[in-house]
Amino acid sequence: MIGQVEAGWDVAVGSRRHPDSISVRGAGALRDLGSRTVNLLAMGVLLSHPHDTQCGLKAFRSDVAKTVFGLGRIDRFAFDIEVLHLVERHGFSVAEVPVRLATGERSTVRLVTDTLRLLRDLWRIRHWAATGAYELGDLPLVASPAG
């Protein structure tokens, strides 16, 4: 991940869907379906690229991180989706990186509660995007060497 950032990408995102990713111990069918559904909702609502929003592995150039995290508002399940929305919104370059996946057997996701929170947060992100809450204001937009 860091190698991609050092090579000039603004952001590197781990992706379980990358063709070179390896699953040592995969998730159960229900967990995999949930992950795919979250990614589809995120792509359909916010993102133009098919990022694996829930993989959790991300690396940022420090100046890009300051810009993106300075604008972020979500601190729950949709945090990753908001971060990637801000990355795309402000034109930062993204490298998708394969991962080696060993999924734990237990999940902390509560299906009904977390789904409702996710839908609420997706609506909030769209609302904030439409009303200018994600504009830079006093934050500088950094130049992207790779993009």
Mean pLDDT of 136-147: 58
Asked if residue 82 is part of any domain, the answer here is: yes
Asked if residue 100 is part of any domain, the answer here is: yes
Asked if residue 32 is part of any domain, the answer here is: yes
Closest C-alpha to 142, from 96, 95, 93: 93
Residue 38 confidence (pLDDT):
73
Asked if residue 138 is part of any domain, the answer here is: no
Closest C-alpha to 79, from 37, 124, 112, 21: 124
In this predicted structure, the answer to whether residue 129 has a pLDDT above a threshold of 70 is yes
Name residues whose C-beta falls within 8 Å of residue 130's C-beta, 6 or more positions apart in sequence. none
Q: What predicted TM-score, i.e. pTM, was given to this entire model?
A: 0.78
- Number of domain units in the chain: 1
Provide the edge-to-edge strand list for the sheet that holds 94-98: 58-60, 11-15, 94-98
Instruction: Report residue 147's pLDDT band, with 50, 70 and 90 as the boundaries.
Output: very low
Name residues whose C-beta falls within 8 Å of residue 110's C-beta, 6 or more positions apart in sequence. none
Average pLDDT, the chain: 79
Name residues whose C-beta falls within 8 Å of residue 33's C-beta, 6 or more positions apart in sequence. none
In this predicted structure, the answer to whether residue 110 has a pLDDT above a threshold of 90 is no
Asked if residue 103 is part of any domain, the answer here is: yes
pLDDT in tens, 50-89: 667 777 789 999 999 999 999 999 988 788 889 999 999 9
Looking at this protein, which amino acid is placed at residue 55?
Answer: C
Residue 31 confidence (pLDDT):
63
The helix/strand/coil state of 22 is strand
Asked if residue 54 is part of any domain, the answer here is: yes
Domain span at residue 23 reads 2-130
Asked if residue 78 is part of any domain, the answer here is: yes
Asked if residue 137 is part of any domain, the answer here is: no
The strand pair at 100-102 and 94-98 is best described as unpaired
